[in-house]
Amino acid sequence: MTRHPKSGRGRKWTVSELKAIPSEWRGDALRDGDGLVGVVRFVAGDSGPRVHFRYEYKRGGKKTWHYCGTWPAASLDAVRRARDEARGILRRGLDPNAKRDADRIEAREQVKATLVAEARRRVEDASVRELYEVWLRDGVLRKDGNAALKRSFEADVLPSVGTKPVRSVTEHDVRVVLRALVARGVNRTAVEVHRNIKQMFRWAEKRQPWRRLLQDGNPAELVEIAKIVDPDYDLSNIRSRVLNDDELRELRDRLEAMARDYEAAPDKRRALRPVEPETQAALWLCLCTLCRIGELLMTEWRHVDLEAGTWFVPKENVKGSRGKKRDHFVYLSPFALRHFRALQARTGGTRWCFPGRDATNHVDVKSVSKQIGDRQHRFKQRKALANRRNDNSLVLSNGANGEWTPHDLRRTGATMMQALGVMPDVIDRCQNHVLACSRVRRHYLTHDYADETKQAWAKLGAAIEAALARPLRLVSRSR
């Protein structure tokens, strides 16, 4: 190079000339013709110079610059095209810099519009699973921390409709989910799933953006569950099964026979295992205390005082809606104490009366009901389940009175109390029922019925002892 960059030139700069610029030219200007001027820069770490090109023009009587690019990041051809575009804009009476700013603003607005449209599309296409996850986090909190709800949706609902957009869900989709359950013979589960789906969509109907997606209403509300479940299924789920004293004796004898047969079996690996002693204790305690099976299975030993003959049930363990649950105090009859003591001999070293496998928590509250149901397989409208008992070893009265459940023992005990002359108000308190009366009445009538309930439980325990000892029918028939 022989010419200084500030001197006039008769031709444009070439790439080879730019590469050969020495470091002494830092800050000097290179004129490329038609108003294009480059300023030389050297940056540490670079192998050569950088040239920042600008287009010089006047606007409103003032000299102005329009940036056209930096060589070598931008090629000389690209830099010159940018200069030519700026000259063309200037000829149209516009300011190239203002046009560039306007283009940037327009580009930003287009990006914003694209993002808004995408966000709107994502909302419009929000899936049932997305709704379920938000509802689970913000809209529902059940006693078990939503554990059962999660299992139900993951197993029975989401595989069918989880990926479907909320706005596209129809009553037909809900029916598909429910009919699949009924086909498996789990009508009660179908009813519960229907109730849960309705609850989720009811929550969504009141909140954006879900409300907008459910303009046609709650699809589950349009499904008549009575037309989905089996015709002979009792939708009210109001059971009336009561075990008579012959059946109580038969139950006792069957449990003992199973244990004897197992002990006498030459090969216990092949022999049918009897009902676990803890499960047997739970059955008799349900009968003699009128407790709910779930409340019993969540019991901690610190709540049982065998010396005083009492059992405290904290309201956290009581079934019922919030605000209506209350602590419950049970006076244990000699019959109940005997079974609690037998249970303590097996599980007294743990926190729980009915510990789970790892003893860090109580056993699943449905475990006893499942064990009893598995041993009455003839009443199940389903195939045999793997790794579960599928026999009829606990079918009573040859099945003439139908299936029985642990909850039926609670009803049986209450019916026996009634036959013994115990007043209904006292029976309600023994069962820890929420009494249907006015707030004023509950506020002023505060007698705790401790003596009356203690006597009632004692009478019931004695009656059960008598029923097991001889064929005395305190309950004449199963209703």
Residue 85 has pLDDT above 60, yes or no: yes
- Please give the tally of structural domains in the chain: 3
Examine the domain organization and report whether 253 and 366 are in the same domain: yes
Tens digits of per-residue pLDDT, 121-165? 566 888 999 999 999 999 999 878 899 999 999 999 999 999 999
Total-model pTM: 0.58
Q: Is 478 inside a domain boundary? A: no
Examine the domain organization and report whether 40 and 189 are in the same domain: no
Tens digits of per-residue pLDDT, 239-280? 789 999 999 999 999 999 999 999 999 988 888 889 999 999
The sign of the torsion formed by the CA atoms of 345, 349, 353, 356 equals negative
Q: Is 6 inside a domain boundary? A: no
Examine the domain organization and report whether 99 and 207 are in the same domain: no
Examine the domain organization and report whether 220 and 286 are in the same domain: no
Examine the domain organization and report whether 170 and 61 are in the same domain: no
What pLDDT, on the 0 to 100 scale, is given for residue 11? 65
- The beta-carbon contacts of 339-345 under 8 Å, at least 24 apart in sequence, are 339/281, 339/284, 339/285, 339/288, 340/281, 340/285, 340/304, 340/306, 340/311, 341/306, 342/277, 342/281, 343/277, 343/278, 343/281, 344/301, 344/304, 344/306
Examine the domain organization and report whether 368 and 419 are in the same domain: yes
Spatial separation of the C-alpha atoms in residues 246 and 248, rounded to whole Å: 5
Spatial separation of the C-alpha atoms in residues 105 and 472, rounded to whole Å: 93
Examine the domain organization and report whether 278 and 308 are in the same domain: yes
What pLDDT, on the 0 to 100 scale, is given for residue 324? 65
Burial 339-348 (b: 16+ CB within 10 A, else e): bbeebeeebe
Residue 474 has pLDDT above 50, yes or no: no
Tens digits of per-residue pLDDT, 316-345? 888 765 556 789 999 999 999 999 999 999
